[in-house]
Structures are given as C-alpha cells and as structure tokens.
Amino acid sequence: MKVLVATEKPFAKVAVDGIRKEIEAAGYELALLEKYTDKAQLLDAVKDANAIIIRSDIIDAEVLDAAKELKIVVRAGAGYDNVDLAAATAHNVCVMNTPGQNSNAVAELALGMMVYAVRNFYNGTSGTELMGKKLGIHAYGNVGRNVARVAKGFGMEVYAYDAFCPKEVIEKDGVKALDSAEELYKTCQVVSLHIPATAETKNSINYALLKDMPKGAMLVNTARKEVINEAELIKLMEDRADFKYMTDIMPAANAEFAEKFAGRYFSTPKKMGAQTAEANINAGIAAAQQIVGFLKDGCEKFRVNK
C-alpha cells in the first residue's frame, strides 16, 4: 500500500518523520510530494497512491480520475471545502478530516493578530489593550473554543454565536451565547471568524452585518476567504476609517486592501494558522493513524462523505 503526502504547503519535518513512522510500522510505503507548483505534478503523484494525506490541497474530480488505486483521502486539518466530496463518493473514495488537531495553533494566531492590530502593527506608537474589550466568536467549534480560552486569559469579555451549538454548551465555558450573528456583531468590538466555507456561508460576512459593529471595530478572519463579501468589506472600510481587517487568508483583492487601508489591514502571505510544528504533528499523525485504521480495520470514524 502506498500513502502519498501531497502538501503544497509542507508540514514541519518532525511531523513528516512521525507520519513516516506510523505508515512504515503498518508495513506501507510513504511517498512525498511537497511544495508542488503545478497540478500536473499532483496528477502524476496520485496515479499509484492508495491513500493521500493533504492540507488545503485541491482534490477535485480530475485528481480522483487520475488516482485509480485510491481508497482514502485524509485532510490533515478541519475544513474540507478543498475536496470534492460528491466526486470522491462517486469514485468510492472515503474522505476524512482530523477535527481539533490544529485548533490551538489557529486560535493562538487569531489572538496574535488582535494584539498586532491594537498595538498599531508594532510601529512604536501608543496602542490599546485587549483586556476589557468584547470579543465575539462567530462559530463555536474546536477553534472557537480555544479562542475563548485564550481570550479569557487576556481578560476579554467573550461572546459567541453558533447556529448549530446549543447555548448551554457555550455558556458552560463562561462565554455569553447570543441568539444571532447580527447581535454578535452589534455587541462586539472584535469579532473572530470560525465558520466553514459552505454554500450558506460564502459571501455571508457583508456590509449589513459589519456596519453596526461598535467604534474601533476589528474583524479577524482565520477561517476562509470565501466567507467574506470582499467588495462590501472594501466599501465598509472606505466608509469607516476606524475598521480593521486582519487575516491569514489573503483576499483576492489583496492589492486593493493593502493600498487603501494601510495601518488597518494585514494579511499573511500564506494561510498560516495551522503552521506550527505541534499542529503539523497532531494533524499529520492523526491522518496517518486514520489511514492505517481504515485500510487495516475498515474504521470510518471522521469520515465526512457519508
């Protein structure tokens, strides 16, 4: 059995070593395709793979067509919007994610971006503090919960809205659960986004939702760029000189954001919320173990294309 790790943005070496150990202990072979720049390289590498570990790498119908021996794809991470689930099901390929394994890393980056913003991008001028500010967590999953834990350490007042999580679950963490996204954005000066990119959420973070945020508002997006209505965010930031946008998912209109909103817009060059050795080890090794469990015992825990 051949397990391919196909990562345009590679894992830390220590994580690849851990993955190799799991795969070879099971008697399988590990193949690596890192930092590829062309889809043709991926199409070639998947030809004889029985299993693939990916990150945000795109697995579409063309890749699945090329992967004639493929049985399972594991997205080492949370969001699986990069995998065509219907095509995978049609090809009889099991798709899994590794929920929770990289969530602390993403949460730490979200808080780091908040500090960077309120300290004026460390430009030497006098900034403000996070303590006492109202933080709204939009979607209370694994990352949202970690953001709440760290934000409470900063002394922030933490609120959350999640359409699918019962209020009691949120409130047992000492977080105030609100009834709607509108209420969350009206209440909180800082909002941290943790919604997945789905048909319902794409473009949903728009002018109407953001316009009522309190003065000195900040939106932190470590979720997905597709959930932002970029044209409307640009309009809002033109209308509100107090509004900051911090993200690790570069918008399509990055150049326009950077030019128009210097000092209150920041994007990392690559998505890097999960770019820590710990997150790579946790998610990568979990992916390898899930592949071994599936191939040896038929275990389908964490399957997302049921």
Closest distance between ligand 3PG and the C-beta of residue 14, in Å?
16
d(CA 33, CA 51): 13
The single residue among 133, 244, 264, 271 that binds ligand 3PG, judged by CB under 6 A, is: 271
The single residue among 55, 145, 194, 264 that binds ligand 3PG, judged by CB under 6 A, is: 55
* Cβ 76 vs Cβ 54: under 8 Å: yes
Q: Does 133 bind ligand 3PG (CB under 6 A)?
A: no
Q: Does 99 bind ligand 3PG (CB under 6 A)?
A: no
Ramachandran angles phi, psi of 243, nearest 5°: -95, 130
Closest distance between ligand 3PG and the C-beta of residue 302, in Å?
13
d(CA 276, CA 289): 20
Q: How many residues does the chain have?
A: 306
181 torsion bin: left (phi>0), alpha (psi -120 to 50), beta (else): alpha
Q: Does 236 bind ligand 3PG (CB under 6 A)?
A: no
The single residue among 5, 88, 102, 290 that binds ligand 3PG, judged by CB under 6 A, is: 102
Nearest Cα neighbor of 28 from 66, 62, 69, 67 is 69
Q: Does 273 bind ligand 3PG (CB under 6 A)?
A: yes
* Cβ 269 vs Cβ 287: under 8 Å: no
Nearest Cα neighbor of 220 from 285, 91, 130 is 130
Q: Does 79 bind ligand 3PG (CB under 6 A)?
A: yes
Q: Does 56 bind ligand 3PG (CB under 6 A)?
A: yes
Q: Of residues 6-35, which lie at the interface with ligand 3PG (CB under 6 A)?
A: 9
**Tokens of residue 110, six digits:** 């979200």
Q: Which is nearer to ligand 3PG, 9 or 211 (CB)?
A: 9
Residues that bind ligand 3PG (CB under 6 A): 9, 55-56, 77-79, 102, 271, 273-274
